[in-house]
Structure 1
Amino acid sequence: MQDSARRHTFAIDWYKEKDIIVDLPNKQGKSRETIRFADEVAFIVLKALAFDSRNTNKDAGDLVYVLKNGTPDVIAETYSQRLLAGQHVQALEDGLKALVKRFCDDEKIDGYEKDGPSKYAIFMGLANASDDERARVMRDASGLVTYFVKEVEKHTNRTFLPAPAQPQADAAAV
């Protein structure tokens, strides 16, 4: 099995189910089916890796949507439990690295200025919005993803976010 395929097997393990009833074509009756879909943790990892790879507005939009409309604390706790249990560790770590790279502050770029929040704002229809409105939405997206990563850090006692940049001492003041 290729490394990339092996890395994504978590989506087979982490799912939810929903029963649906569908009308079959040509008046063949109804059928009850059970649909499996990626749970929130699997979805976040998949979308983080997809966004890091293909950088689409929709991937950023989907990722922020799940965090916004779910419960970030609960999702982070489940994410952390799986990480600590050693379940698909490489995929979970890669997902967090992608989130940090695309949405969170680092030593050179504020998180809200990165491509993740920008693509999210575009997905939300704000490509031509005022700079203030766009910046607000971008800051919210960056803040939400950063909060999620910090919660994972708290639960796992591990560090994924880079250390904050230290202010440079003024040479004249020294």
Structure 2
Amino acid sequence: MAELLVRWPCIAEALHYSVVYGHPMFSAFPAEYFFSTMADLLEAKANPYDPDLQQRATKRLKKTPGLDEASKFWNSLSFMLFATHDSSPSYLLRYLEGFDGRQPPLASTLFLELWRDPSHPSGHVVKFIYNWKPLQLKVRLSARVRPRQSYHVLEGEGQVFANREPLPDELRDA
């Protein structure tokens, strides 16, 4: 037992330096689910009179841990807050390819805001804001979130625009 205690600091030190924030493998599964859930919810909020979208959003809320309670007041819901530990935002940022490899600062924020925009074909814009600054996306989010659907997202000046145009062939799954 004494020998184990002597080696333990070496093991602890090795583990300390092997911590990886926002590794793509770790970010892919939860981030994809999170953003596909947000896509369903934002699309339903943007189209409140579409019964199929409302049903999809309510179903998604009911089956997602921690969101089932929100399904009871979905129609009046206008704000959702998710709190995480210090390194969790790095996984979402890695998925969006907006991650610089450093652990996010304490109390980091990532906002997804749905805005009406009559000048846009869909009538709505989704803005991504990280730590109070527009997040410049390097990825077409829809290619990851909804590759088989015609709903897709285009990159803009710190904004993501929701369109109902057909998804380009190079982004479709075979």
Q: Same fold (TM over 0.5)?
A: no
Would you tell me which structure has more strand in proportion to its own residues?
Answer: 2
TM-score by length of 1: 0.29
Could you say which structure has the greater relative contact order, defined with CA pairs below 8 angstroms and 6 or more residues apart? 1
Would you tell me which structure has more helix in proportion to its own residues?
Answer: 1
TM-score by length of 2: 0.29
